[in-house]
Structure formats: structure tokens, C-alpha cells
A and B are shown apart, each in its own frame.
Chain A
């Protein structure tokens, strides 16, 4: 073996990364073999163990203050495959664990099989796919080389597509098929980019690639192909057409997973590529183009959301808009890199936006599911009485909405504050304008829903179905996570920056 650099040694706690990926997939296989009502129990056991593993990873990472690394089979890159977890990955794994736990609690109501009730295929599929989504996302976060990332993304797609079609209606099958076509096109572009990079530089490892890539046509080509492919998978405007029918048609628990977590996988990969692999290759105009698509997504998504008649479609279009915010960080990162100030503010801002959107959007979709089962419909114009029947759920919806708008002390506020400061520091005022207009439009539809839900019910009206209290509590808990995330500003600020001190922090503002 070649003499291993310090980066390429298995660190203490590295084995936890393997566990974080293997455990959910072991759960999938065990649940599939045992089948029926055992799948739910296996899923819960796996969720509890998995949360323990993620907490242990966080502890190890905070304790050592560096990235966790594990070399599979002891082979160092470029021949072997390394798993790495830096601050970004650890933060995302924590959020995914929290959201998966909350969705699991909520799904006990929708996909539970109590004794005496018949087992259903949808319930079995849901619990297995929940674990599969979790395992693939963890693999996306810890993979250290771009081909393993391709496999992880495909696993994520294969887990996400059946979630869309869980109830087997014709519209959802069509939505799933359309989602699959977009995702396959995206993965082929990504794969072509991967092969080109390997052909040019002879390695797939992210750290080695970052050292070797040079500014030449093949790199630009590969970067463009991979980015375009990932945009189709993240559903950034104008490649968002598959998202609203797919996310709105799925059962509420599945929509929450898809909208909060699955699209973040491909976004995280764009961040990895643009911030870690190609920082010297991509130019500021290219980053501006990406953010311009994001800005169009914010404006178009919010306006279309305002015009929706159905609550779940409204929330799905709101996701289209919020994806736009995630892409505003790229020109800020590039500009901060150029000023030698360190890109920490913009990267942390983007990460916080992803975290607050993940928790808030999962809460909103599950709230919409509860409103649907209580009222028997989800027409926005006819939500009266929902506030009286489901006070906790409407509170949760309002709190999650406040986080999407960016009211203090929510996570959305902190994220937008960091992005706004970075935009002002790098003299890019137009992104400030987009963020403010987007916040106004978001507040319009959140208030519209909350005000209508607060209206008193028609006399003699009674809820169609009583929803269990633990489902409401799960939704409220998740919304509170998003709303109180802004208090993370009180933490020592470098959790996300663990193992990422690439650019020296000279005179940070």
C-alpha cells in the first residue's frame, strides 16, 4: 500500500459509520423475511438502535473535533473506498434520524397493524422503505467517493419511487413513473460525469479528486453533467415538474419522507461537489446561474403554491420554492472563497436551511394528513373547524410555516440571516431581494391556511375521525424542532465546520 496520509486512516469510531449504513438495511432484510406485522416491530427496533448509533457518531465527532474516517477492508484510496463523516454529514445524519423517528411515530397510526387487524401490503412496504430511505441517506452523507455516491443515490431513488405509489392508485403510479424517468435521466448524467472524472484523473475519492482536478474542458464537462443530473433529482426549477404530483399523491407519512429527506440527498451531493471537489473549477457566473434557477424556483413555486386549491399540493409547491433557497448558497460560497474570508457562513446557512426545511416540511405534510383524516378532504377553501378539532396540529402547522417564512427564533430565520449577511458581505444584493420577496409570498399562503383553519366550524359539524394524540404530538414535536432551531445560534458555532477547515479563516466578519 502507498504510505497513507493522516486523512486516510481509520479513526476511532469509524466503525460507527459502517453501522449507520448497515443497520437500516439489515432491518429491511429482516423485516422482509419476517413479514407482516413483524415488519413494524423490526422497524422500530432498528430506528431506536439507529438513533443510538447516530448519537454515538455525534459524540465521537464532537469529542475528536475531526472527521470520522473508515477505510473499508483497510484499503486506502485510490484503490479502496473510504467512508468519511465531517460536520456537515454528522448534522444531516442527526436531522434524518430525528425526522425518521417522528415519521415512524406518526406512521404507527396510519400503517400500524394492531392485533386482530389484517396485515396489509402497503404497511409492510412502508416500514421497509422507511428503513431503506434512511440507510441510503446515511450512505449519501458518509460516502467518500463519487461512485459509491452514485450507488447511494440510486438506492435512494429505488426507495423513494415505491413510496410515491404506496396506495396503488393510477394517478400515483403515473407520478411514480414520471419521477423514476427524471431520476434515471439524472443518474445517467451523473454516471457519465463520474466516468469522465475517473478517465481524466484516475481516482474516484473526493479528497484525492479535490487535489488533482485542474481547470480543463473535461472537468467542466463532468461538473456540468453531474450537476445537471443532480438538479433533475433534487427537482430544482425548471426540472421540478415531477415533484408536486408525486409528493402530493403519496400517503402523508410517505410525503413527509420524500419532501423532507429524499430530495436533500441529491442536494447534499451538489454541495459536496461544488464546495469540496470543484471549488477552484466552478466559476462565479456558473454559481450565479445555479442561484438564478433557485431564485426562479422561489418565485414560481411560491406563486403557484398560492393558487392551489388542495392543501397537499400547496405544500408540495412550497417544497419546490424552498429547494430554491437551498441553491442560493452557491454564489455566496464562491464569492466568500474569492475574498479569502472562509465560506463558513454561507455553508452553515445552506445547511441550516436544509435542516429547518426538513423538519418543518415533514411536520407540515403530516399535519395535512391529520387534517385530511379529520375533515375528510383537504380543500384549502373549506378548512373551517380544523382549528377547533385539531388545535395541536394547527399550532404545529403555524410554527412550521413560521420557520419556512423565517420568523425568529426559527431555524429558517437563522438560515436566512446567515445567507442574507453573506449576500450583503459579498455585495450581491439581488439575492437579498429574492429572499425577502420569497418570505412574503410564503407568509401569504401560511396565513391563508391558518386563518381559514381557525374559522369556527359549521353548526352541527363533527370530525369524521378522531386522530390519536400521539400523532398530533409527533407533528408538534417536529414543528417545535424547526421553530427552536434558531437557538442553535447560542451553541458554539462550529459544529457544521468539524473537519472542514480547508480555507483559512482570515479576518472573518
Chain B
């Protein structure tokens, strides 16, 4: 095996993995503040990308203006989802909320299909596709940009969860009733977490939209994002970043080794195996919180 080739696979795998992390951070944000796995994060990411396109390509705004504007719109949408749909379910069994987010995902996919159709569109971020060589290793520029965005968001949210508002969000995830009892507005906190996750969805939507085009398939990122979030431990942002890198490397290197043996298609199998094994062997993931049981 050629070492240059192997490290190229590993580095590009890690970069792709960080793009999964970018997506997974949105999942973690909502889980961290309300203990609900958000199955509509894929739909939100797709909508985020469509809103950017609507503002830039349809309304003619420049991208540097369209992206922040889309972030503001999506921030409002996140709050709106809490206000309209989730508030009624606060305190109900998680399984109902889970079903609601699944329904929301289907709804978002249908809505974008109705408004913008199903043809794939490109974002045209303007990142060059010229190959970039680090020594002998080829890396993709857009992946590098996306990985940088993921790391920047990681640092921003690590700091955020140490602020007073961040601590209140973590308190809500721990115990709704106790939060109400000390005057924390659970509703506003959950709304804020959805709003922030929707902003993350814009970032993920733009980067992934640039890589694979903007269409309904963007929402399928949920599967890999969820795998990363579960492996990292659902409520850990650090976990999402590290798990993203691990999954990216394992997937890229593993597929290269296995594909010649099975004739292709092992990439998806590796992701599935990681998800299933994580849940079986280490249900709280690499860095997730344990439920505390004192003896």
C-alpha cells in the first residue's frame, strides 16, 4: 500500500468527516437544550440552502449578503417551529416529539419540492476547484473551507455553553420541571436552541449544497449526521467534531480497502455498522453524558 495515497485518503476523509460534524453540531445543539433528537435537521439544512439560493440567484443579492440574511431568516424559522409545533408537546413523552420532527422533515421536503421543484441547483460559492497540493497530497479546497467553518462553529458553541444563557439551556435539557421552578423560560430556551440549529443548518446547507448540489437529497445527510452525533454522544459538541473525523477517515479508508473485495458500495455499510455498533456497545457515545445513578 502506498503511504502517500493512504494519507491522502485519511486527510480527505477527515475533512469530509468535519463536514459531517458541521451538520451534526445542529443536532447536538437541540439535544443539548431539550433532550430531543431532531430528525428534521436534514430538512432544515436543505431549506437553509434553498433560502440562500432564493436570496442570491432569484432575488439577485450577492452571496456575502444572502448567507447572513438567510441565517437571520432561519433563526426566525427555528423559533417559529418551537412556537407553533413544539410548545404544545413540552413535557410529553420524547417519542411524540421525535415523530413530530420526522413529520416536519417530510413537510419541509415536500414544501421545497412544491416551491423550487426537484432539479438540482448549484450554489456557486466561488471557491476554486483548482487542485490544492499539500506536499504530495491532494485536497479539495471546498472541503477545506467547510472544515474551517465547522471548527469555527465548534469553538463558538463551546464558548456559548459556558455563558449564562448556555448554562440555562443545559439546565433545561437536564430537567424541564426544575427549570420552570426557578423561573427559566423552557419554551424560550428550546426555541433558541432550534433557532441556533437552524443557523448551523444554513452553514451546512451552503457547504454541502456547493459539493453535491441543492436538491431534496440534501436532507438525507441526516443519516450520516445522526451517526456522527450518536458516536460522539448526542449532547457533546466536542464529541460531534471528533466522531466526524473518525467516521470520515474510517469510511474513506475502509471503503477503499473493502470496495475491491465486495465490488463497491461498502461506504454506506461502514456508516451503518458504526451506528449500530455504537448503540450496542457504547450507547452514550464517546463523550455523551451518562445518566447518573448514585449508589
The answer to whether A and B belong to the same complex is: no
Q: Which B residues are within 8 Å of any A CB, using their own CB?
A: none
